[in-house]
Chain A
Amino acid sequence: MNAVKEEEISVLLNDLLECYGYDFTDYSLASMQRRINRLFSMDRFPSFAEFRYRVRNDPSYIQHFVEEITVNVTEMFRDPSFYLALRKQVLPMLATYPFIRIWHAGCSTGEEVYSMAILLQEANLLHKSVIYATDINTSVLEKARKGIFPIANMQQYSQNYMASGGQHEFSAYYAAKYDYAKFNESLSRKVIFAPHNLVTDGSFNEFQLIICRNVLIYFNKDLQEKVLRLFSESLEQLGYLGLGAKETLKFTNDAHKFRQIDKREKIWRKVSI
């Protein structure tokens, strides 16, 4: 069941850092091991040695490798109550700014970025907003930029949208063609898709809202601290940080700088520097 052993995982992750500068060494091991084993059997390597040789010597394989070992499962309006809280409690505050800067870190294929754009549009804020949507993985960013998602998911997304307080016809936001739904370009016009590696890259702007959902769960404690510090430093005073349903700022060094805006939702406001 585990063709690639724990020691071999660290060998592989060191190779990746040494040859390509991708640093996965502070990721949680259990998930990493599962992903790497999945890839190992999917690509039918006869032995770990051959797997490792491919990783070290075939740069074209690396994009595929990175795409497969990072988790790119996402959905629109994931956890609708989170989006309802954004609508009700965060956007009215952002509305007071002349210009709104949002960073969506680890945006994967972009479903949640389009969800955010829809919220902004419905609050009549999209025209004065810019969303920086970043991910470590360039091929998912390419998908995100296109804004084309399987039509089969739309029923679920529409339900999520309604549960998030949406009052329009969800299908008005996309054009259906064959098995796909292409989201209106007016939604992505204010989005800048760019690669950014949370492990190695620094801050690039100051934001009023940072969204990073279900990314920290894959990091070990040290890396979580480091990334949360990056977010803290990239937030304006009174800016907001939105995390995934099972992620928390509690127990981290910067926790005292933040106040959770609502006990049930994973949204914090930066109240001191």
Chain B
Amino acid sequence: MNATSLVIIGGSAGSLSVLLQVLPGLAPHLAVPVIIVLHRKNYADSVLTDLLGTRTTLQVKEAEEKDVLQAGCIYLAPPDYHLLLESNGSLSLDYSEKVNFSRPSIDVSFSSAARLYGPQLLAILLSGANADGVEGLCDVAACGGLTAVQNPKTAEVPFMPEQALEYAHVSKILDITEMADYINTFAALSR
């Protein structure tokens, strides 16, 4: 594998503003790749990628099939496809049924990452109005990975992190201001 550790972030309603605050704080030479799975409308253009790209010096790109994960790059799951991870460190797209009424589904990507990265994985679940991602967090925890959720008190829509706290083993509750440091520390330790 090109990258031995991975950070994966899932979010729905209310999570974009969180990302816009977190991205500027990420270390300029982050030693891990970051995958972001957001519930989003099926816009054909790449406005979201460009928007996130303005907030960090790290490369932000919409994930393409067969992309090989590179440290220091941020991959955004494309609209209307599930994003899966392969054991050779590459990405796959999948147009199968929606999961939790969502495509991309956070559960699908979290579970796929959990299986491959085990303890080398940090999964963070942000604000959102449904429970997509909760089962995925359970899988991450079961495979020995680190699980974190946005502090529901700081979430625009607290349902998603609340569900995670109720049903999954959550290693850490994070305020928005703590997230970048937490990711940077994880990346530094996994070097």
Chain A contacts to B: CB under 8 angstroms: 1-2, 6, 28-31, 34-35, 71, 73, 79, 81, 214, 217-218, 221, 244-248, 264
Residue pair B94, A218 in contact (C-beta under 8 Å): yes
Complex Cα gap A186–B114 (Å): 50
Which residue of chain A lies nearest to B88 when distances are taken between CB atoms in the complex? Answer: A29
Residue pair A217, B92 in contact (C-beta under 8 Å): yes
Residue pair A73, B84 in contact (C-beta under 8 Å): no
Number of A-B residue pairs at CB separation under 8 A: 58
Kindly provide the distance from the CB of A181 to the nearest chain B CB, expressed in whole angstroms.
20
Q: Given A1-B142, A30-B86, A73-B97, 12 other A-B contacts at CB below 8 A? A: A1-B115, A28-B92, A29-B87, A30-B94, A35-B96, A81-B44, A217-B92, A217-B93, A217-B94, A244-B95, A245-B80, A248-B64
Chain B contacts to A: CB under 8 angstroms: 44, 64-66, 78, 80-81, 84-87, 92-97, 108, 111-112, 114-115, 139, 142
| Residue from A6, A34, A214 in contact with B108 in the complex, judged by beta carbons closer than 8 Å | A34
Q: For residue A247, which residues in chain B have a CB less than 8 angstroms away from its CB?
A: 65
Q: For residue B80, which residues in chain A have a CB less than 8 angstroms away from its CB?
A: 245
Complex A-B: 27 CB contacts under 8 Å: A1-B114, A1-B139, A2-B115, A6-B87, A28-B84, A28-B86, A28-B92, A30-B84, A30-B85, A30-B86, A30-B87, A30-B92, A31-B94, A34-B84, A34-B108, A71-B94, A73-B95, A73-B96, A73-B97, A217-B65, A217-B81, A218-B94, A244-B95, A246-B64, A246-B78, A248-B64, A264-B44
Which of B86, B93, B114 has the most chain A CB atoms closer than 10 A to its own CB?
Answer: B93
Q: For residue A217, which residues in chain B have a CB less than 8 angstroms away from its CB?
A: 65, 81, 92-95
Kindly provide the distance from the CB of B143 to the nearest chain A CB, expressed in whole angstroms.
8
Which of A6, A29, A34 has the most chain B CB atoms closer than 10 A to its own CB?
Answer: A34
| Residue from A6, A28, A29, A71 in contact with B96 in the complex, judged by beta carbons closer than 8 Å | A71
Give the interface SS of chain A, mostly helix, strand, loop or mixed: loop
Q: For residue B86, which residues in chain A have a CB less than 8 angstroms away from its CB?
A: 28-30
Complex Cα gap A35–B80 (Å): 18
Complex Cα gap A245–B96 (Å): 14
Complex Cα gap A6–B64 (Å): 23
Complex Cα gap A244–B95 (Å): 10
Counting from the closest, the 10 A-B pairs by CB-CB distance are: A30-B84, A71-B96, A28-B92, A214-B95, A31-B94, A30-B92, A217-B93, A1-B139, A30-B86, A217-B65
Kindly provide the distance from the CB of B58 to the nearest chain A CB, expressed in whole angstroms.
22
Residue pair A34, B65 in contact (C-beta under 8 Å): no
Which of B85, B86, B139, B142 has the most chain A CB atoms closer than 10 A to its own CB?
Answer: B86
